[in-house]
Structure 1
Amino acid sequence: MLGAITLQFFLMYSQLTTLEFRRSGQILSNEMKLLLAMAPEHLDYVIRERSTDDLRIVVNEAGIFTASHQPVTGDLHMWPEGLEADGQLHNIVMEPEEGTPYTLRFLAERTPDGRVLVLGRSSHFLKEQKLLLRRVSLTTLVPIVFFALLAGVLLSHRALARVKDMHEAIDRIMRGDIHERLPTGTQQDELQRLAASVNRMLDRLEQLMRDMGNVGNDIAHDLRTPLARVRAGLERAISGPQASSPEALQKTIGRAIENLDQCFTIITALLRLAEIDNSKGRNAFMKVDLVALMRDAIDLYEPIAESENVVLLSHASEDVIWVRGDRDLLMEVLANLVDNAIKFTPAEGKVSVLVSMNGGRPSLVVTDTGSGIHPDERAAVLTRFYRSDKSRHIPGSGLGLSLVASILRLHNAELLISDVEPGVPEKGTCFTVLFPNERTGHA
């Protein structure tokens, strides 16, 4: 601010000097034209009596000289040193017998009768204006600086008070109060936007912590059942009446292995979910042929479908449809969807897989004729460990669809769940995977 005031002062100072020089030159030129137009006798009278005339106000010095620079009349009794009668303005320093030197602007021109008319104007008007400007600037500078400093102190105190409140809130959060949030005011400034962003981040962290707690509870619940069955079976094998029977022990050990395998399946799926959620490896993506991917999945699950007496069909366009992604992860998506469809489709049912273009976007569609998913449960089935009541009797960990959702998030793909026959969930489920436009194309 002080720099701006100083710059403004110097600009005004220089403009005053330029303006006064131009103004004094115009005044001298105009007076010179007016006087030269007079008759010689009248000119002598005007110059001689100018102290009682308005000419005294605009011209400080005036005199008529001979061609040899001898004074004729007027209050200028000596030819200024360095002055030329060329009709041009000259700045000449006058040195009086007493007092300090001063500067006059002179204009000298020849009259029609051969003499020389000299007019001079002092720069004391400019000095007065500059003195006034300096005094006004100094007078206004003090209150301006004072109020600027006062405003700066008040604003900084206000901002620091808000920062202090934020620090106190952060300290409470660090002590374990995860429900605490940074204070936000009504001011639409950077601090308010920062506090709002941090609060959104804290909301997300709180949600993640809540989800982690729920996952821990779900893990404990899902692992407790098979482990309890293993313990109960082993206790019966040791203390039961058939403890010495090799066949009973072998059967007990087989069931224990099955239950432990279920535990390992849950743990492996959770580790796989964590690996995918923490993955940043989109740089390793490459072109994946969805049609070839579908054929590999069909070859893998066709024997399983036959053993379950389920018809497995596939449909694809003749063109090669490709997306950018990780082929192994996309194979895992398709395998989970097909396995889920076969698992929940009764005997004599049908599962179909379709690869096509949907609105310019590559799509992967898996439909079945199973028991369907109620619309209220379609968001929940994508979360970890969720299992609907009608699927409790079917073996599984409840992690397959959450694994599919995580992989598709990594690929910026969209998963839609709908009924095979709209409005009739009991007739089957349709899973539609839509891949993004910018990562697709036709080979």
Structure 2
Amino acid sequence: MQRPRAAGSIFSTGTFRLSIGATAFLAAALLLQSALIFWQTTSYQIMRTDLLLAREAALITAQTRPVLDQQLRMRASDDLHLLIAGAGLFDAQHRVLNGNLPTWPEGLQPDGPVRQLVVHPTGQGPRAVRAQALRLRNGDILVLARGLRDLEEVRQVVLRALLLCAVPSVVLAVAGGAWLSHRALLRVGIMHRAIDRIMAGDLHERLPAGRERDDLDRLAGSVNRMLDRLEHLLDEIKGVGDDIAHDLRTPLARVRTRLERARNASPGAEPMPASAELLNEAVDRAIVDLDQCFAVITALLRIGEIENGRRRAAFTSVALDELVADIVDLYEPIAEARQIALVVEGCEPVRVPGDRDLLIELLANLIDNAIKFTPEGGRVAIGASARPGEAVLRVGDTGPGIAPAEREAVLGRFYRSDKSRHIAGSGLGLSLVGAIGHLHGARIAISDAGASPRPGCLIEVTLAAP
């Protein structure tokens, strides 16, 4: 089934949608900024208008009645005083006595606060004004109204500035989003083609990861590391089948040969007890060979179970010095039977998070491997020590050691060096150690133990300690 191709439109990409969202936030910020500027400017202009209106009223009301009438006529007709949109003198019953206000402004109270309202001056259209009514000493009422033309001009300036800023900004943001989306589509297209080649069987192909170190590059790097791991696992799987066939073929062939010989043995050629003895010997050897096959299968299943990683949920605090004591008690009789000294060196009390059973199995495989390859009269040492944030398990022997070129390979499955071909085993012991170490996030280092005359082998397992 062919994988569906990615959409080729730049408008359907996440980058473009993100750019549109950023553009919307930019437009909202410009609107908010313009509103704040207009609000501050309006407040200032209203305060300034009210102050000028109060000064104008104080100046006019200080005049005598003839001068007041003349001032009202001049201000109503003089173009230089158009800011005074209305000026009128009314009696106590709000009848007009002088000025260009034909009627009393609705909602205006004598000696009240300055109000914003609409008036209809004589010879002019309706105008929005700030108006104030002052009661004179003779009972008449003076009404002065100052226009808000400045506010309208400010509104136009702010709106014009908003359009001049917002329109180019939005256009540039959308264009930038389209360019980034096109660039992202090119990179995603390259990755899709690489994925197609990987799915077609080219496991050496990798996703392009540039030097920009953005999210896409980091994702490509993570996928490449995953592909490296998968390629390594596939290579192991390809080799495991051959290794299993090679390791199981020999014991199964021996089983078949011995059983065939036992079947073909002629009862008339020798007494029946000898034939029964021969048959029992063949059966015993067949059982040994079958046990070897079962050991290989059991070890493989054990490694697979450990590599599954589910046992991390059962991790507890484990004392390594107690594990060392238990292993020594278990293997000391075996070492003595082979005339090998099993000693504890530098065992410090240290605790690590882990699975106690698996760590015992790790130590058991290391000790068993060391005893197996150490000749009679040799020595196997085990110890545990603490470092800042770490704990180290050490197992050293006086055997033939492991060549530097083979120290990484021995942790693989079914690997057996030329030195160990004559020793019984499946080549899975150190593989099991590696699987348990990987589960615990441990580092396994193999080096020479420095023994003489043989180099010996020293295996250090470094675990994280709380």
TMscore range, shorter length? 0.7 to 0.9
Distance 1:413 1:363 in 2: 9
Partner of 1:126: 151
Aligned pair 1:351/2:380, yes or no?
Answer: yes
In structure 1, C-alpha distance between the alignment counterparts of 2:387 and 2:109, rounded to whole Å: 95
Distance in 1 between residues matched to 2:269 and 2:214, nearest whole Å: 79
Distance 1:123 1:8 in 2: 23
Alpha carbons of structure 1 residues 131 and 68: separation in structure 2 relative to 1, 3 Å = same
Answering whether residue 227 of structure 2 is matched by residue 202 of structure 1, we say yes
Structure 1 equivalent of residue 328 of structure 2? 298
- In 2, Cα distance between equivalents of 1:314 and 1:325: 22
Moved more, 83-92 or 111-120: 111-120
Q: TM-score, normalised by structure 2?
A: 0.75
Q: SS where residue 281 of structure 1 aligns?
A: helix
Structure 1 Cα separation of the partners of residues 278 and 170 of structure 2: 97
Residue 297 (structure 2) aligns with: 267
Equivalent residue of 2:195, what SS?
Answer: helix
Residues 1:359 and 1:185: Cα distance change in structure 2 (over 3 Å): closer
Q: Which moved more, 1:12-21 or 1:307-316?
A: 12-21
Q: Does 1:405 align with 2:434?
A: yes
Q: CA deviation at 1:285?
A: 3.4
Task: Give the match for residue 221 of structure 1.
Answer: 246
**CA 1:287/1:221 → structure 2, altered by over 3 Å: closer, same or farther?**
same
Quick check: 1:237–1:252 contact (8 Å CA) kept in 2? yes
Distance 2:116 2:254 in 1: 115
Question: Structure 2: where are the runs of 5+ without partners?
Answer: 1-22
Choose from 378, 382, 386 the match for 2:415: 386
- Give the 5 Å matches for 1:1-400: 1=23, 4=28, 7=32, 14=39, 17-36=42-61, 45-50=70-75, 56-64=81-89, 74-76=99-101, 79-86=104-111, 88-95=113-120, 101-109=126-134, 116-130=141-155, 149-185=174-210, 187-230=212-255, 246=275, 254-314=284-344, 322-355=351-384, 357=386, 362-400=391-429
C-alpha deviation, 1:350, in angstroms: 1.8
Aligned partner of 1:441 in structure 2 is none
Aligned length: 436
1:433 aligned onto 2:461: yes
Gaps of 5+ in 1: 439-443
Kept after mapping to 1: 8 A contact 2:76/2:100: no
TM-superposition CA deviations, 1:379-413 (whole Å, max 9, x none): 33222222232222222222111211222332344
| More off after superposition, 191-200 vs 97-106 | 97-106
Shift of 1:205: 0.9
CA RMSD of aligned residues (A): 4.2
Task: Check 1:143–1:313 CA distance in 2 against 1; reply closer, same or farther (3 A cut).
Answer: closer
**C-alpha deviation, 1:278, in angstroms:** 0.9
Q: Distance in 2 between matches of 1:173 and 1:287?
A: 43
**What's the % identity of the aligned pairs?**
49
Compute the displacement of 1:89 (Å).
1.0
Distance 1:276 1:58 in 2: 91
Q: Distance in 2 between matches of 1:263 and 1:435?
A: 33
The 1:81/1:345 distance shift into structure 2, 3 A limit, reads closer
Give the partner amino acid of 2:329.
D
Looking at structure 2, the residues matched to 267 and 352 of structure 1 have their Cα atoms a distance apart, in angstroms, of: 30
Aligned partners of 1:83 and 1:358: how far apart in 2? Answer: 89
1:59 touches 1:121 (CA, 8 Å); kept in 2? yes
- 3-state SS of 2:128 partner: strand
Q: Distance in 2 between matches of 1:239 and 1:12?
A: 110
Q: 1:241 to 1:426 in 2, by over 3 A?
A: farther
Query: Deviation per CA, 1:324-366, whole angstroms, max 9, x where unpaired?
Result: 4333322222221111111111111122333554557554432
2-side partners of 1:428 and 1:233: how far apart?
Answer: 38
Shift of the 347–145 alpha-carbon distance from structure 1 to 2, 3 Å rule, reads closer
Cα distance, 1:192–1:287 mapped onto 2, change above 3 Å: closer
Moved more, 399-408 or 159-168: 159-168
In 1, distance between residues paired with 2:297 and 2:291?
Answer: 10
Deviation at 1:320, TM superposition (A): 6.4
Does structure 2 retain, via aligned residues, the 8 Å contact 1:108–1:119?
yes
- Tell whether the 8 Å contact from 2:86 to 2:121 is kept in structure 1 after alignment: no
- Tell me the alpha carbon deviations over residues 398-432 of structure 1, each in whole angstroms, 9 at most, x when there is no partner: 2111211222332344434333338x793422333
